[in-house]
Structure 1
Amino acid sequence: MAETLHQIDGDKPAQYDGLLPQIVALISDERDFVANMANIAAVLKTQFDWLWVGFYLVKDAQLVLGPFQGPIACTRIAKNKGVCGTAWAQERTIVVEDVNQFAGHIACSSLSQSEIVVPMMKDGRCVGVLDVDSDAIATFGQVDADYLEQVVATLMAASDVD
């Protein structure tokens, strides 16, 4: 198990390209879903210094807060509510350049200005989402979507998920 993170310099693709093998090494010998989510949240928060990086898990027909790094967060989110609930319902990645322009945005932190949410799919069903918030407008784009989808696919392949 690799327990040292080597931060990567360069543009976003270079940073992600350097992080992906480290994430694989970090979680390759661990099957526990919660442990792997916790380490991935720490890796992403450390590398990019985003405001908030974390996971919500589908439990009892709502999203429930899972492992995260950052300020205190909303504990429960209903389906179709906010960016997380919408990504869950639509089972697709959603990039929001300005959360103030997203109808129904849930402001867990007033510092959040942009957001990306990636659904975590297992056997054709969404079991949770990766949620990332930034305190700057337009932080996330297609590059982030493509790479964070790879991060989530790596997590799902490496972990035992109910």
Structure 2
Amino acid sequence: MFTASALSGSKPEQYAELAAQARALLSGESDRIANAANLSALVYHALPDLNWVGFYFFDGRELVVGPFQGQPACVRIPLDKGVCGAAASSRQTQRVADVDAFPGHIACDSASRSEVVVPLVHGDSLVGVFDIDSPRTGRFDEDDQRGMEALARVYLESLA
């Protein structure tokens, strides 16, 4: 059984520790569902002020909810809707300090106030998105964005 260790140091150091824990957790496993489930749980329990961490997978037409930690979620998200759709369609990370100010935001959990969504691209193919929500406005900064992008890379490396 894997147990996450407490994070210490600066925020970049904490994300480096978390990425190392994620690598150890996903090592030797290539199943995308199993790895998404474990990575969601790891991040949800390791970082403060989160209310949803999870994955949406691209089915060729839209994003479909995958493994997550938090309240029940929207099942399907069109690529032209919300923060997740924007990240998937642009293939660019979306960091939103106030989701209520984001045009077309989809409120799957009304408690969410800020969000980071990292697109998951393997080769040239869109796999889906890694979505992290907080009940606190302005929760995520550039260090958080870089840290979440590093965690997404760990996930994508596990698929190879």
TM-score (norm 2): 0.95
Aligned residue number for residue 103 of structure 1: 103
41-50 or 6-15: which moved more?
6-15
Structure 1 residue ranges, 4+ long, deviating more than 3 angstroms after superposition: none
Q: Say which SS state the counterpart of residue 40 (structure 2) adopts.
A: helix
For 1:17 and 1:157, the matched residues in 2 are separated by 16
Q: CA deviation at 1:3?
A: 1.1
For 2:21 and 2:47, the matched residues in 1 are separated by 15
Q: Say which SS state the counterpart of residue 153 (structure 1) adopts.
A: helix
Identity of aligned residues (%): 42
117-126 or 8-17: which moved more?
8-17
Q: How many residues align?
A: 159
Q: CA deviation at 1:12?
A: 2.2
Q: CA deviation at 1:108?
A: 0.4
For 1:78 and 1:151, the matched residues in 2 are separated by 24
Aligned residue number for residue 63 of structure 2: 63
Q: Say which SS state the counterpart of residue 72 (structure 2) adopts.
A: coil
For 1:151 and 1:9, the matched residues in 2 are separated by 17
For 1:142 and 1:15, the matched residues in 2 are separated by 14
Pairs within 5 Å for 1:11-30: 11-30=10-29
Aligned residue number for residue 36 of structure 2: 37
For 1:159 and 1:96, the matched residues in 2 are separated by 28
Uncovered stretches (5+) of structure 2, i.e. residues with no partner: none
TM-score (norm 1): 0.94
For 1:43 and 1:149, the matched residues in 2 are separated by 15
Q: CA deviation at 1:132?
A: 0.5
For 2:9 and 2:72, the matched residues in 1 are separated by 30
Q: CA deviation at 1:7?
A: 2.0
For 1:19 and 1:127, the matched residues in 2 are separated by 22
Q: CA deviation at 1:99?
A: 0.4
For 2:107 and 2:90, the matched residues in 1 are separated by 20
Uncovered stretches (5+) of structure 1, i.e. residues with no partner: none
Aligned residue number for residue 142 of structure 1: 142
